[in-house]
Chain A
Amino acid sequence: MANLIQELIAKRAAKEVEDGQIINLGIGIPTLVAKYVENENVHFHTENGMLGVVGIEEEDIDPNLVNAGKMPVGEAVGSSFFNSAESFGMIRGGHVDVAILGVLQVDEQSRIANWAVPGKNIIGVGGAMDLLVGARKVIVTMTHTSKDGKSKILKDCTYPITSTRSVDTIITDLAVFNYINGELHLVELMPGVTLEQVEKNTEARFVNVLK
Protein backbone atom coordinates (compact mmCIF):
# COMPACT_ATOMS: atom_id res chain seq x y z
CA MET A 1 0.00 0.00 0.00
CA ALA A 2 1.19 3.42 -0.91
CA ASN A 3 1.52 5.83 1.97
CA LEU A 4 0.22 9.39 2.25
CA ILE A 5 3.54 10.99 1.33
CA GLN A 6 3.72 9.00 -1.89
CA GLU A 7 0.13 9.93 -2.72
CA LEU A 8 0.90 13.61 -2.09
CA ILE A 9 3.88 13.52 -4.46
CA ALA A 10 1.90 11.64 -7.11
CA LYS A 11 -0.97 14.11 -6.91
CA ARG A 12 1.40 17.02 -7.42
CA ALA A 13 3.10 15.27 -10.38
CA ALA A 14 -0.29 14.80 -12.06
CA LYS A 15 -0.59 18.59 -12.33
CA GLU A 16 2.35 18.62 -14.74
CA VAL A 17 0.41 16.58 -17.30
CA GLU A 18 -0.85 18.53 -20.32
CA ASP A 19 -3.62 17.91 -22.80
CA GLY A 20 -2.87 15.38 -25.53
CA GLN A 21 0.38 14.06 -24.09
CA ILE A 22 1.82 10.54 -24.39
CA ILE A 23 3.09 9.60 -20.94
CA ASN A 24 5.23 6.78 -19.60
CA LEU A 25 5.02 6.04 -15.88
CA GLY A 26 7.79 4.27 -13.99
CA ILE A 27 7.47 1.86 -11.09
CA GLY A 28 6.59 3.10 -7.57
CA ILE A 29 5.28 6.63 -6.95
CA PRO A 30 4.92 7.33 -10.73
CA THR A 31 2.40 4.50 -11.10
CA LEU A 32 0.15 6.34 -8.63
CA VAL A 33 0.11 9.46 -10.82
CA ALA A 34 -2.42 8.08 -13.33
CA LYS A 35 -5.36 8.14 -10.94
CA TYR A 36 -4.86 11.87 -10.26
CA VAL A 37 -4.80 12.86 -13.95
CA GLU A 38 -8.24 14.30 -14.69
CA ASN A 39 -7.68 15.09 -18.37
CA GLU A 40 -9.07 12.20 -20.43
CA ASN A 41 -7.13 13.22 -23.52
CA VAL A 42 -3.80 11.79 -22.38
CA HIS A 43 -2.45 8.38 -23.34
CA PHE A 44 -0.32 6.17 -21.12
CA HIS A 45 2.48 4.14 -22.71
CA THR A 46 4.14 1.19 -21.00
CA GLU A 47 7.48 -0.04 -22.31
CA ASN A 48 6.58 -3.73 -22.22
CA GLY A 49 4.48 -2.98 -25.29
CA MET A 50 1.21 -1.08 -24.92
CA LEU A 51 -0.25 2.35 -25.61
CA GLY A 52 -3.56 3.19 -23.93
CA VAL A 53 -3.05 1.86 -20.40
CA VAL A 54 -5.91 2.42 -17.92
CA GLY A 55 -6.77 1.07 -14.49
CA ILE A 56 -8.62 -2.21 -14.05
CA GLU A 57 -11.16 -3.59 -11.58
CA GLU A 58 -10.19 -6.60 -9.49
CA GLU A 59 -12.74 -8.89 -11.19
CA ASP A 60 -11.45 -8.03 -14.69
CA ILE A 61 -7.76 -8.74 -14.06
CA ASP A 62 -6.02 -10.55 -16.93
CA PRO A 63 -2.61 -12.07 -16.00
CA ASN A 64 -1.31 -11.44 -19.52
CA LEU A 65 -2.21 -7.74 -19.49
CA VAL A 66 0.32 -5.91 -17.32
CA ASN A 67 2.41 -2.74 -17.15
CA ALA A 68 6.19 -2.46 -16.84
CA GLY A 69 5.88 -3.07 -13.09
CA LYS A 70 4.06 -6.34 -13.91
CA MET A 71 0.91 -4.90 -12.31
CA PRO A 72 -2.46 -5.71 -13.94
CA VAL A 73 -3.86 -2.93 -16.16
CA GLY A 74 -6.81 -2.33 -18.47
CA GLU A 75 -7.24 -1.25 -22.11
CA ALA A 76 -8.40 2.23 -23.09
CA VAL A 77 -10.55 2.73 -26.17
CA GLY A 78 -8.06 2.87 -29.06
CA SER A 79 -5.28 1.06 -27.19
CA SER A 80 -2.67 -0.96 -29.07
CA PHE A 81 -0.02 -3.62 -28.45
CA PHE A 82 3.44 -3.86 -30.01
CA ASN A 83 6.73 -5.69 -29.54
CA SER A 84 9.58 -4.53 -27.31
CA ALA A 85 11.76 -3.15 -30.15
CA GLU A 86 8.89 -1.04 -31.45
CA SER A 87 8.08 0.11 -27.93
CA PHE A 88 11.62 1.30 -27.29
CA GLY A 89 11.75 2.80 -30.77
CA MET A 90 8.87 4.98 -29.62
CA ILE A 91 10.86 5.95 -26.53
CA ARG A 92 14.29 6.57 -28.08
CA GLY A 93 12.75 8.09 -31.18
CA GLY A 94 11.25 10.97 -29.21
CA HIS A 95 7.61 9.92 -29.60
CA VAL A 96 6.89 9.83 -25.86
CA ASP A 97 6.21 13.30 -24.46
CA VAL A 98 6.77 12.76 -20.76
CA ALA A 99 8.41 10.13 -18.59
CA ILE A 100 7.67 10.22 -14.87
CA LEU A 101 10.26 8.17 -13.01
CA GLY A 102 11.28 7.17 -9.53
CA VAL A 103 14.90 7.85 -8.52
CA LEU A 104 17.38 7.06 -5.76
CA GLN A 105 19.43 10.28 -6.07
CA VAL A 106 19.61 13.48 -8.11
CA ASP A 107 22.69 15.68 -8.44
CA GLU A 108 23.21 19.42 -8.82
CA GLN A 109 23.11 19.11 -12.62
CA SER A 110 19.75 17.34 -12.32
CA ARG A 111 21.27 14.03 -13.39
CA ILE A 112 19.71 11.00 -11.74
CA ALA A 113 20.80 7.65 -10.33
CA ASN A 114 18.09 5.00 -10.25
CA TRP A 115 19.46 1.68 -11.47
CA ALA A 116 22.29 0.49 -9.28
CA VAL A 117 23.50 0.63 -5.68
CA PRO A 118 27.20 -0.16 -5.17
CA GLY A 119 27.78 -3.19 -2.98
CA LYS A 120 24.24 -4.51 -3.35
CA ASN A 121 23.06 -7.38 -5.49
CA ILE A 122 20.87 -5.21 -7.68
CA ILE A 123 21.52 -6.23 -11.25
CA GLY A 124 18.86 -4.58 -13.32
CA VAL A 125 18.39 -1.49 -15.45
CA GLY A 126 15.18 -2.17 -17.38
CA GLY A 127 14.01 0.76 -19.50
CA ALA A 128 15.38 3.60 -17.35
CA MET A 129 18.32 4.57 -19.58
CA ASP A 130 16.19 4.49 -22.73
CA LEU A 131 13.55 6.76 -21.18
CA LEU A 132 16.19 9.26 -20.08
CA VAL A 133 17.64 9.67 -23.58
CA GLY A 134 14.34 9.55 -25.42
CA ALA A 135 11.47 11.17 -23.53
CA ARG A 136 10.97 14.83 -24.43
CA LYS A 137 10.40 15.79 -20.81
CA VAL A 138 11.47 13.85 -17.72
CA ILE A 139 9.85 14.42 -14.34
CA VAL A 140 11.16 12.58 -11.29
CA THR A 141 9.19 11.85 -8.13
CA MET A 142 10.99 11.00 -4.91
CA THR A 143 11.06 11.43 -1.18
CA HIS A 144 13.39 14.32 -0.42
CA THR A 145 15.48 12.36 2.09
CA SER A 146 16.37 8.72 2.68
CA LYS A 147 14.93 6.74 5.57
CA ASP A 148 17.87 7.79 7.76
CA GLY A 149 17.20 11.46 6.98
CA LYS A 150 19.99 12.10 4.44
CA SER A 151 19.40 14.36 1.45
CA LYS A 152 18.76 12.56 -1.84
CA ILE A 153 19.30 15.78 -3.81
CA LEU A 154 23.09 15.83 -3.73
CA LYS A 155 26.02 17.81 -5.06
CA ASP A 156 27.14 14.62 -6.81
CA CYS A 157 25.38 11.27 -7.00
CA THR A 158 27.20 8.58 -5.03
CA TYR A 159 25.42 5.87 -7.03
CA PRO A 160 26.10 5.33 -10.77
CA ILE A 161 24.16 7.79 -12.95
CA THR A 162 21.45 6.57 -15.32
CA SER A 163 22.17 9.11 -18.05
CA THR A 164 24.12 12.30 -18.73
CA ARG A 165 20.77 13.93 -19.51
CA SER A 166 19.42 16.34 -16.88
CA VAL A 167 15.83 15.81 -15.79
CA ASP A 168 13.44 18.73 -16.19
CA THR A 169 11.44 18.65 -12.97
CA ILE A 170 11.96 17.15 -9.50
CA ILE A 171 8.93 16.66 -7.25
CA THR A 172 9.48 15.62 -3.63
CA ASP A 173 7.46 15.62 -0.42
CA LEU A 174 9.06 18.98 0.41
CA ALA A 175 9.37 20.92 -2.83
CA VAL A 176 9.31 21.22 -6.62
CA PHE A 177 12.45 22.12 -8.59
CA ASN A 178 12.85 22.89 -12.27
CA TYR A 179 16.23 22.62 -14.00
CA ILE A 180 16.75 25.79 -16.02
CA ASN A 181 19.94 27.09 -17.65
CA GLY A 182 22.14 24.69 -15.73
CA GLU A 183 20.70 25.40 -12.31
CA LEU A 184 18.14 23.84 -10.01
CA HIS A 185 15.36 26.35 -9.39
CA LEU A 186 13.16 25.96 -6.32
CA VAL A 187 9.74 26.86 -7.72
CA GLU A 188 7.32 25.58 -5.12
CA LEU A 189 7.06 24.42 -1.52
CA MET A 190 4.73 21.54 -0.75
CA PRO A 191 1.85 22.40 1.60
CA GLY A 192 3.01 23.22 5.13
CA VAL A 193 6.72 23.08 4.25
CA THR A 194 9.08 25.98 5.03
CA LEU A 195 12.06 27.23 3.00
CA GLU A 196 14.30 26.40 5.97
CA GLN A 197 13.20 22.75 5.82
CA VAL A 198 14.10 22.57 2.13
CA GLU A 199 17.47 24.27 2.69
CA LYS A 200 18.31 21.94 5.57
CA ASN A 201 17.46 18.79 3.59
CA THR A 202 18.98 19.68 0.21
CA GLU A 203 22.71 19.15 -0.26
CA ALA A 204 22.75 20.40 -3.86
CA ARG A 205 22.98 24.11 -4.53
CA PHE A 206 19.72 25.60 -5.81
CA VAL A 207 18.34 28.99 -6.72
CA ASN A 208 15.29 30.17 -4.81
CA VAL A 209 12.80 31.61 -7.29
CA LEU A 210 9.75 31.32 -5.02
CA LYS A 211 7.37 34.18 -5.56
Chain B
Amino acid sequence: MKIFDSVDQALSCVESGQTIMVGGFGLVGGPLTLIDGLVDLDITDLTIVSNNLGEKGEGLGKLLEQKKVKKAIGSYFTGNRDVGEAFQRGEIEIDLLPQGTLAESIRAGGSGIGGYYTKTSVGTDLAKGKETKIIKGEEYVFEEALIADVAIIRAHKADMLGNLVYYKTARNFNPLMATAAKTVIVEVDEIVEAGELKSDEIITPHLFIDRVIIAKKILTQEGVVEHG
Protein backbone atom coordinates (compact mmCIF):
# COMPACT_ATOMS: atom_id res chain seq x y z
CA MET B 1 0.00 0.00 0.00
CA LYS B 2 1.53 3.27 -1.10
CA ILE B 3 -0.87 5.68 0.59
CA PHE B 4 0.56 7.06 3.86
CA ASP B 5 -1.44 8.90 6.50
CA SER B 6 1.31 10.99 8.05
CA VAL B 7 4.35 12.92 6.92
CA ASP B 8 6.46 11.20 9.60
CA GLN B 9 5.65 7.75 8.26
CA ALA B 10 6.23 8.84 4.69
CA LEU B 11 9.66 10.24 5.60
CA SER B 12 10.71 7.28 7.80
CA CYS B 13 13.28 6.24 5.17
CA VAL B 14 15.22 9.53 5.41
CA GLU B 15 18.59 9.40 7.18
CA SER B 16 21.56 11.70 7.77
CA GLY B 17 24.10 11.83 4.97
CA GLN B 18 21.62 11.00 2.20
CA THR B 19 21.18 12.67 -1.16
CA ILE B 20 17.64 14.03 -1.49
CA MET B 21 16.04 15.38 -4.65
CA VAL B 22 13.41 18.05 -4.09
CA GLY B 23 11.00 19.00 -6.89
CA GLY B 24 9.77 22.47 -7.72
CA PHE B 25 10.79 25.69 -9.42
CA GLY B 26 11.08 27.96 -6.42
CA LEU B 27 7.95 27.30 -4.39
CA VAL B 28 5.93 26.44 -7.53
CA GLY B 29 5.52 22.67 -7.62
CA GLY B 30 7.62 22.25 -4.48
CA PRO B 31 6.65 19.53 -1.98
CA LEU B 32 6.05 22.06 0.77
CA THR B 33 4.50 19.59 3.24
CA LEU B 34 7.37 17.11 2.93
CA ILE B 35 9.99 19.87 3.13
CA ASP B 36 8.46 20.94 6.45
CA GLY B 37 8.65 17.28 7.45
CA LEU B 38 12.41 17.33 6.81
CA VAL B 39 12.69 20.47 8.93
CA ASP B 40 11.16 18.55 11.85
CA LEU B 41 13.52 15.56 11.50
CA ASP B 42 16.72 15.17 13.49
CA ILE B 43 19.00 14.65 10.48
CA THR B 44 22.12 16.32 9.10
CA ASP B 45 24.75 16.28 6.31
CA LEU B 46 22.19 16.18 3.52
CA THR B 47 23.01 16.67 -0.15
CA ILE B 48 20.06 18.46 -1.73
CA VAL B 49 19.42 18.30 -5.47
CA SER B 50 16.93 21.04 -6.34
CA ASN B 51 16.76 23.95 -8.79
CA ASN B 52 16.81 26.44 -5.88
CA LEU B 53 17.38 26.24 -2.16
CA GLY B 54 14.08 27.88 -1.30
CA GLU B 55 13.86 31.49 -0.29
CA LYS B 56 15.31 33.10 2.84
CA GLY B 57 13.73 31.14 5.69
CA GLU B 58 11.14 29.57 3.34
CA GLY B 59 10.91 26.04 1.98
CA LEU B 60 14.40 24.52 1.71
CA GLY B 61 15.75 27.78 3.11
CA LYS B 62 14.65 26.49 6.55
CA LEU B 63 16.86 23.39 6.20
CA LEU B 64 19.79 25.66 5.37
CA GLU B 65 19.13 27.79 8.46
CA GLN B 66 19.18 24.60 10.55
CA LYS B 67 22.58 23.72 9.02
CA LYS B 68 21.29 20.36 7.81
CA VAL B 69 22.57 20.87 4.28
CA LYS B 70 26.13 19.76 3.51
CA LYS B 71 25.94 20.25 -0.23
CA ALA B 72 23.50 21.80 -2.69
CA ILE B 73 23.29 20.82 -6.37
CA GLY B 74 21.13 23.21 -8.40
CA SER B 75 21.00 26.01 -10.95
CA TYR B 76 19.77 29.17 -9.25
CA PHE B 77 20.54 30.02 -5.63
CA THR B 78 20.38 33.78 -6.11
CA GLY B 79 16.83 34.01 -4.70
CA ASN B 80 18.06 33.08 -1.22
CA ARG B 81 20.88 35.31 0.06
CA ASP B 82 21.57 32.89 2.89
CA VAL B 83 22.98 30.41 0.36
CA GLY B 84 25.74 32.75 -0.82
CA GLU B 85 26.58 33.72 2.73
CA ALA B 86 26.73 30.12 3.96
CA PHE B 87 28.95 29.31 0.98
CA GLN B 88 31.33 32.19 1.76
CA ARG B 89 31.60 30.98 5.35
CA GLY B 90 32.47 27.50 4.05
CA GLU B 91 29.41 25.93 5.63
CA ILE B 92 28.06 24.35 2.44
CA GLU B 93 29.44 23.01 -0.81
CA ILE B 94 27.71 24.08 -3.99
CA ASP B 95 27.61 22.38 -7.36
CA LEU B 96 26.13 24.92 -9.78
CA LEU B 97 24.76 23.49 -13.02
CA PRO B 98 22.96 25.13 -15.95
CA GLN B 99 19.25 24.48 -15.53
CA GLY B 100 19.02 22.29 -18.62
CA THR B 101 22.02 20.27 -17.48
CA LEU B 102 20.47 19.79 -14.03
CA ALA B 103 17.25 18.52 -15.66
CA GLU B 104 19.03 16.26 -18.15
CA SER B 105 21.35 14.80 -15.49
CA ILE B 106 18.32 13.77 -13.43
CA ARG B 107 16.59 12.37 -16.52
CA ALA B 108 19.74 10.39 -17.34
CA GLY B 109 20.10 9.13 -13.77
CA GLY B 110 16.54 7.89 -13.78
CA SER B 111 16.93 6.05 -17.06
CA GLY B 112 20.14 4.15 -16.51
CA ILE B 113 22.48 6.51 -18.33
CA GLY B 114 25.84 7.19 -16.63
CA GLY B 115 26.41 10.56 -18.24
CA TYR B 116 26.20 12.45 -21.51
CA TYR B 117 27.78 15.20 -23.60
CA THR B 118 26.16 18.63 -23.94
CA LYS B 119 27.16 21.88 -25.65
CA THR B 120 25.83 23.92 -22.74
CA SER B 121 28.57 25.63 -20.67
CA VAL B 122 31.42 24.82 -23.08
CA GLY B 123 34.14 27.46 -22.69
CA THR B 124 32.70 28.91 -19.47
CA ASP B 125 33.74 28.72 -15.83
CA LEU B 126 31.11 26.02 -15.22
CA ALA B 127 32.92 23.64 -17.61
CA LYS B 128 36.27 23.97 -15.79
CA GLY B 129 37.72 20.58 -14.88
CA LYS B 130 35.16 18.70 -16.94
CA GLU B 131 36.04 16.37 -19.81
CA THR B 132 35.31 17.72 -23.29
CA LYS B 133 34.94 16.01 -26.63
CA ILE B 134 34.65 17.12 -30.25
CA ILE B 135 31.64 15.48 -31.92
CA LYS B 136 31.04 16.22 -35.60
CA GLY B 137 33.20 19.32 -35.34
CA GLU B 138 31.54 20.79 -32.26
CA GLU B 139 32.80 20.84 -28.70
CA TYR B 140 30.75 19.19 -25.96
CA VAL B 141 31.27 18.86 -22.21
CA PHE B 142 30.69 15.63 -20.28
CA GLU B 143 28.12 15.72 -17.50
CA GLU B 144 27.50 12.88 -15.05
CA ALA B 145 24.00 11.65 -14.31
CA LEU B 146 22.42 12.37 -10.92
CA ILE B 147 20.65 9.88 -8.68
CA ALA B 148 19.42 10.15 -5.12
CA ASP B 149 18.49 8.08 -2.08
CA VAL B 150 15.15 9.82 -1.73
CA ALA B 151 13.10 12.15 -3.94
CA ILE B 152 10.32 14.30 -2.49
CA ILE B 153 8.04 15.70 -5.17
CA ARG B 154 4.65 17.29 -5.72
CA ALA B 155 1.90 16.30 -8.13
CA HIS B 156 -1.73 17.34 -8.55
CA LYS B 157 -3.49 13.98 -8.27
CA ALA B 158 -2.48 10.40 -7.57
CA ASP B 159 -4.60 7.30 -7.90
CA MET B 160 -4.47 4.43 -5.39
CA LEU B 161 -1.77 2.74 -7.48
CA GLY B 162 0.46 5.83 -7.45
CA ASN B 163 -0.08 7.04 -11.01
CA LEU B 164 0.39 10.81 -11.18
CA VAL B 165 -0.86 13.85 -13.06
CA TYR B 166 0.53 17.35 -12.58
CA TYR B 167 -0.87 20.88 -12.60
CA LYS B 168 0.30 23.49 -15.14
CA THR B 169 3.79 24.88 -14.45
CA ALA B 170 3.94 23.03 -11.11
CA ARG B 171 5.21 20.05 -13.17
CA ASN B 172 8.80 21.25 -13.85
CA PHE B 173 11.38 18.87 -12.25
CA ASN B 174 8.87 16.62 -10.48
CA PRO B 175 8.34 13.90 -13.14
CA LEU B 176 12.12 13.69 -13.67
CA MET B 177 12.93 13.29 -9.98
CA ALA B 178 10.20 10.65 -9.73
CA THR B 179 12.46 8.42 -11.84
CA ALA B 180 15.83 9.05 -10.23
CA ALA B 181 15.72 8.05 -6.54
CA LYS B 182 15.60 4.76 -4.61
CA THR B 183 12.55 5.93 -2.67
CA VAL B 184 10.12 8.43 -4.20
CA ILE B 185 7.65 10.23 -1.96
CA VAL B 186 4.95 12.42 -3.48
CA GLU B 187 2.45 14.84 -1.98
CA VAL B 188 -0.73 15.53 -3.91
CA ASP B 189 -3.88 17.63 -3.71
CA GLU B 190 -6.14 14.64 -4.17
CA ILE B 191 -6.02 10.83 -4.15
CA VAL B 192 -8.54 9.08 -6.40
CA GLU B 193 -9.50 5.48 -7.14
CA ALA B 194 -7.47 3.56 -9.73
CA GLY B 195 -9.17 4.06 -13.07
CA GLU B 196 -10.25 7.63 -12.41
CA LEU B 197 -7.12 9.06 -14.03
CA LYS B 198 -7.32 8.28 -17.73
CA SER B 199 -4.53 6.01 -18.93
CA ASP B 200 -3.48 8.41 -21.66
CA GLU B 201 -3.38 11.39 -19.28
CA ILE B 202 -1.04 9.83 -16.72
CA ILE B 203 2.36 11.55 -16.79
CA THR B 204 4.18 9.45 -14.17
CA PRO B 205 3.27 5.74 -14.20
CA HIS B 206 2.97 4.16 -10.74
CA LEU B 207 6.07 1.97 -10.92
CA PHE B 208 8.18 5.04 -10.08
CA ILE B 209 6.24 5.95 -6.95
CA ASP B 210 6.72 4.46 -3.48
CA ARG B 211 4.81 6.66 -1.04
CA VAL B 212 1.90 9.09 -1.43
CA ILE B 213 0.52 11.62 1.04
CA ILE B 214 -2.07 14.39 0.86
CA ALA B 215 -0.47 17.86 0.79
CA LYS B 216 -1.13 19.97 3.88
CA LYS B 217 0.61 23.09 2.56
CA ILE B 218 -0.76 24.82 -0.50
CA LEU B 219 0.78 27.66 -2.50
CA THR B 220 -1.78 30.43 -2.94
CA GLN B 221 -1.61 33.98 -4.17
CA GLU B 222 -1.25 35.07 -0.54
CA GLY B 223 1.65 32.68 0.00
CA VAL B 224 1.87 29.21 1.55
CA VAL B 225 -1.17 28.24 3.62
CA GLU B 226 -2.12 25.22 5.73
CA HIS B 227 -5.11 23.25 4.61
CA GLY B 228 -7.10 20.25 5.73
| Interface residues, chain A, with chain B CB atoms under 8 Å away | 46-50, 61-66, 70, 75, 81-85, 87-89, 91-92, 116, 120-130, 133-134, 160-164
Q: Find out whether the CB atom of A49 lies under 8 angstroms from the CB atom of B122.
A: no
Give Cα A133–Cα B141 distance, bound, in whole angstroms: 12
Q: Is there contact, CB below 8 Å, between B99 and A88?
A: yes
- Interface presence of B173 (CB below 8 A): yes
Q: Are B78 and A127 in contact (CB under 8 A)?
A: no
- Asked if B77 and A85 make an inter-chain contact with CB atoms under 8 angstroms apart, the answer reads no
29 contacts between A and B (CB under 8 A): A48-B25, A48-B169, A49-B25, A49-B169, A49-B172, A63-B221, A64-B29, A64-B219, A83-B173, A83-B176, A84-B51, A84-B172, A85-B107, A88-B99, A89-B100, A121-B85, A123-B78, A123-B94, A124-B76, A125-B76, A125-B98, A125-B126, A126-B76, A129-B120, A129-B124, A130-B120, A133-B119, A133-B120, A160-B124
In the bound assembly, the distance between CA atoms of A23 and B130 in angstroms comes to 31
Q: How far is the CB of B159 from chain A (nearest CB, A)?
A: 20
User: Which of chain B's residues have a CB closer than 8 A to the CB of A92?
Assistant: 100, 118-120
State the CA gap A162–B125 with chains docked (Å).
Answer: 9
Q: Is the CB of B168 within 8 A of A130?
A: no
What residues on A are CB-neighbors of B163 within 8 Å?
Answer: none
Residues of A within 8 A of B124 (CB): 129, 160-164
Choose among B83, B120, B121, B171 the residue that contacts A49 (Cβ–Cβ < 8 A).
B171
CA distance A92 to B118 in the complex (A): 9
B96 and A85 contact, CB distance less than 8 A: no
Instruction: State how many residues of chain B have any CB contact under 8 Å with chain A.
Output: 52
A47 engages B169 (CB within 8 Å): no
Which of B29, B78, B118, B166 gathers most chain A CB within 10 Å? Answer: B78
Q: Which residues of A contact B103 (CB under 8 A)?
A: 83-85, 87-88
> Contact at A130–B219, with CB atoms within 8 Å?
no
| Centre residue among B51, B75, B87 by max chain A CB count within 10 A | B75
B interface, over-half SS: mixed
Expressed in whole angstroms, the minimum distance between the Cβ of B61 and any Cβ of chain A is 14
CB of B26 closer than 8 Å to a CB of A: yes
Please report the C-alpha to C-alpha distance between residue A106 and residue B202 in the assembled complex, in whole angstroms. Answer: 45
Q: Is B59 an interface residue (CB 8 A)?
A: no
Task: Tell me whether A63 and B171 are in contact in the complex, defined as CB-CB below 8 angstroms, given that A47-B99, A130-B120, A163-B123 are known contacts.
Answer: no
The CA of A63 and the CA of B51, in the complex, are separated in Å by 18
A82 close to B99 (CB less than 8 A):
no
Set B26, B88, B176: member contacting A121, Cβ < 8 A: B88
CA distance A64 to B102 in the complex (A): 21
| Closest beta carbon of chain B to A69's beta carbon, Å | 10
Whether B81 sits at the interface, judged by CB under 8 Å, is: yes
Q: How far is the CA of A61 from the CA of B222 in the complex (A)?
A: 11
Q: Is the CB of A129 within 8 A of B176?
A: no
Contact B98 A129 (CB under 8 A): yes
The residue of chain A having its C-beta at the shortest distance from the C-beta of B52 within the complex is: A124
Q: B75 → chain A, closest Cβ, in Å?
A: 6
Complexed CA–CA distance, A65 and B29 (Å): 10
Interface centre among A47, A65, A66, A129 (most CB of B within 10 A): A129
The answer to the question of B220 belonging to the interface, with a C-beta cut-off of 8 Å to chain A, is yes
A83 touches B101 (CB 8 A): no
Q: Which of B126, B170, B172, B174 contacts A129 (CB 8 A)?
A: B126
Chain A, residue nearest B174 (CB): A83
Q: A92-B119, A123-B94 are in contact. Are A70 and B125 (CB under 8 A)?
A: no
Task: Kindly list chain A residues whose C-beta atoms are within 8 Å of the C-beta of B171.
Answer: 49, 81-83
Name which residue of chain A comes closest to B140, CB basis.
A133
Q: Which residues of chain A come closer than 8 Å to B102, judged between CB atoms?
A: 84
CB <8 Å contact, A130 and B76? no
Q: How far is the CA of A65 from the CA of B98 in the complex (A)?
A: 22
Chain B 115-152, CB within 8 Å of chain A: the 1/0 string?
A: 00011111111100000000000000000000000000
Report the bound CA distance from A162 to B123 in whole Å. 9
CB A92 to nearest CB in B, in angstroms, measures 6
20 additional A-B residue pairs with CB within 8 Å, beyond A47-B100, A125-B97, A133-B120: A48-B25, A49-B172, A50-B168, A63-B221, A64-B170, A70-B26, A70-B28, A81-B166, A81-B171, A83-B171, A83-B176, A87-B103, A91-B100, A125-B76, A125-B126, A126-B76, A129-B98, A130-B98, A160-B125, A163-B124
